Amino acid sequence: MRLVQLIFIPFFLGVSTLYAQEILTISSPKNLKQTDSVLVYKPKQMSGKTALVYLLHGHSANYKSWSKLANLQALADQYNFIIVCPDGLKKSWYLNSPNPDSTQYESFFLEELMPTINKKYPVDAQRVFITGASMGGFGAMWMMIKYPHLFAGAGSTSGVLNLRYSAFRKTTIAYLLGTYGDNNVLYDEYSPVNKLAALQGQNKALIFDTGTEDYLYITSKQFRQKCDELKIKATYIAQPGGHTGGYWSKTILKHFEFFAEHLKN
């Protein structure tokens, strides 16, 4: 049985206006083997069907991490987006693992998280976006590529777009996909850069960036080259910065602006 609990957390913006963010807890004994916490921000002017952004955190972080990097309530209000921050369980990589003892995060996302959000909130299914940082950038592009019918667009900031370059390829990714090595083709099969052909002709809103001082900068360059080869339209940003929260707190603002402009056009 899936258990969904709602916790209302009031907080003040400005002087006298009270808003509320909600934390949902979703019990997932089959797919996650535990409960997932989900932080949701609602725009103050929400009426009727509303656009939504799934915002995925990075490795070793949690569902609260993005709220420490950006004013998510202000973004929800400015762009009229519902913002959903699920917990990636520190190291799930947001994928279904061939390891039966591990998490099946894709299944949780599709079978439990999205249905829960769609039932509780007035989501416009044609205006759903997904983005994230680092591990979350990987997860966002992985979900976009595998399930393009579910998203209008996706973003990645400092995303691990080629798993062979990840600092965790021999640790947490190895637990999910098996021991790292040249002969383990799963590292290629699960890398978004190698699966971009699935988005040919889809006309999706794609944005990705990595700081030029980031060790993962090469993966964004590869991603751009592949988009160009396949003639997939995407917005690519290269700018100074490292693999840090300070960098993501600035770049994520561009992602929300980009998604909003896509809806206008």
CA distance 176 to 169: 10
Specify the amino acid at residue 80.
N
Q: How far is CA 220 from the centre of its chain?
A: 16
Strands (E), 34-185: 34-41, 50-56, 81-86, 123-132, 153-157
pLDDT at 12 over 60: no
Note whether 210 and 158 are within 8 A (CB): yes
> Mind listing the pLDDT tens digit for each residue in 18-50?
355 999 999 999 999 999 999 999 999 888 999
> Mind listing the pLDDT tens digit for each residue in 153-211?
999 999 999 999 999 999 999 999 999 999 999 999 999 999 999 999 999 999 999 99
> Mind listing the pLDDT tens digit for each residue in 224-233?
999 999 999 9
pLDDT value for 47: 84
Q: List CB contacts of 34: < 8 A, sequence separation 6 or more.
A: 28, 89
> Mind listing the pLDDT tens digit for each residue in 63-119?
999 999 999 999 999 999 999 999 999 999 999 999 888 999 999 999 999 999 999
Phi, psi torsion values for 122, nearest 5 degrees: -80, 70
CA distance 40 to 25: 11
Domains of the chain: 4-264 (3.40.50.1820)
Q: How far is CA 60 from CA 133, 143, 185, in A?
A: 12, 20, 25
Q: Which residue has the higher pLDDT, 252 or 102?
A: 252
